[in-house]
């Protein structure tokens, strides 16, 4: 039997079990930190969908969720140009916002989103990212909550794509170089 998606993986970085464990810990931390406040989760589409789905169920507080579509990648490269593909549905004015991201890489996307959201006068803004790849950061940007800090490899799965594919892999893996660079 062939496994086309899995054959494109060089190495599994985090298994489904490791992911679930870490997300439960992040949820517990947010539950503690936001007790007594109305928490509003703002998710950056599309990569963060699986993380949002798991994280929100690991937070034992009343909360609300909204979605913002933002895109800037072509293949493995950031175009540097951040495009809003879908705006939030609700106002964030006066609310305690936590941005839910799958990965911070160059930081282009989140710098843009932070600037955009701060103009809407929220009561507070914090960031939770499942993965942090500090090696490629263009401008200084730190998340308040980080799942895992990863090395400088292009990763896929658990929402993360290469050219819109592999988002449905249940684990985080490093994509084989010859998939995006062609055979050497
Ligand atoms: O820190 P950066 O270098 O900006 O990279 C991180 C962003 O890039 C990816 O989004 P992408 O533009 O690929 O959209 P997607 O979530 O729809 O895949 C990822 O989901 C982050 O939002
Ligand atoms: O390593 C990555 N994988 C998938 N999408 C990404 N967007 C930024 N960095 C990455
Ligand atoms: Mg992407």
Contact assessment for residue 9 and residue 173, using Cβ atoms and an 8 Å cutoff: yes
pLDDT of residue 1: 53
Ligand 2 geometric centre to CA of 76 (Å):
7
What is the fold, at CATH topology level, of the domain defined by 22-151?
Rossmann fold (3.40.50)
d(CA 26, CA 39): 14
Q: Catalytic annotation on 105?
A: yes
**What residues contact 139, with CB distance under 8 A and at least 6 apart?**
107, 111
Instruction: Tell me the per-residue pLDDT of 87-130, one tens digit each, with 9 for 90 and over.
Output: 999 999 999 999 999 999 999 999 999 999 999 999 999 999 99
Residue ranges covered by each domain of the chain: 22-151
**Which residue is catalytic, options 105, 153, 161, 178?**
105
71 CB near ligand 1 (under 6 Å): yes
pLDDT of residue 167 exceeding 60, the answer is yes
Q: For the segment 2-16, what is each residue's pLDDT rounded down to a tens digit?
A: 678 899 999 999 999
Q: Enter the pTM of the model.
A: 0.95
Distance 36 CA to ligand 1 centre (A): 32
Q: Which residue out of 155, 169, 176 has the highest number of ligand 2 atoms within 8 Å of its CB and is therefore the one to mutate?
A: 155
pLDDT tens column, 15-47:
999 999 999 999 999 999 999 999 999 999 999
What does the chain look like in DSSP terms, one character per residue? ---HHHHTEEEEEE-HHHHHHHHHHHHHHHHHHTTTS-EEEEEEETTTHHHHHHHHHT--S-EEEEEEEEEEEETTEEEEEEEEEE--SS--TT-EEEEEEEEESSSHHHHHHHHHHHTT--SEEEEEEEEE-GGG-SS----SEEEEE--SS-EEBTTB-BTTBSTT-SSEEEEPHHHHH---
């Amino acid at each position: 039997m062939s496994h086309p998606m899995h054959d494109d993986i060089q190495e599994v970085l985090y298994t489904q079990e490791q992911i679930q464990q870490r997300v439960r810990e992040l949820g517990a931390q947010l539950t503690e930190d936001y007790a007594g406040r109305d928490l509003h989760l703002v998710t950056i589409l599309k990569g963060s969908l699986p993380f949002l789905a798991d994280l929100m169920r690991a937070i034992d507080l009343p909360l609300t969720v909204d979605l913002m579509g933002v895109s800037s990648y072509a293949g493995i490269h950031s175009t540097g140009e951040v495009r809003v593909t879908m705006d939030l549905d609700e106002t964030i004015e006066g609310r305690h916002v936590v941005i839910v991201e799958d990965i911070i890489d160059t930081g282009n996307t989140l710098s843009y989103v932070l600037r955009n959201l701060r103009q809407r006068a929220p009561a507070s803004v914090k960031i939770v990212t499942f993965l942090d790849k500090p090696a490629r950061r263009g401008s200084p940007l730190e998340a308040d909550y980080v799942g895992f800090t990863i090395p400088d490899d292009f990763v896929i799965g658990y929402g993360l794509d290469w050219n819109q594919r592999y988002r449905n892999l249940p684990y985080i893996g490093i994509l084989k170089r010859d998939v995006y660079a062609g055979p050497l």
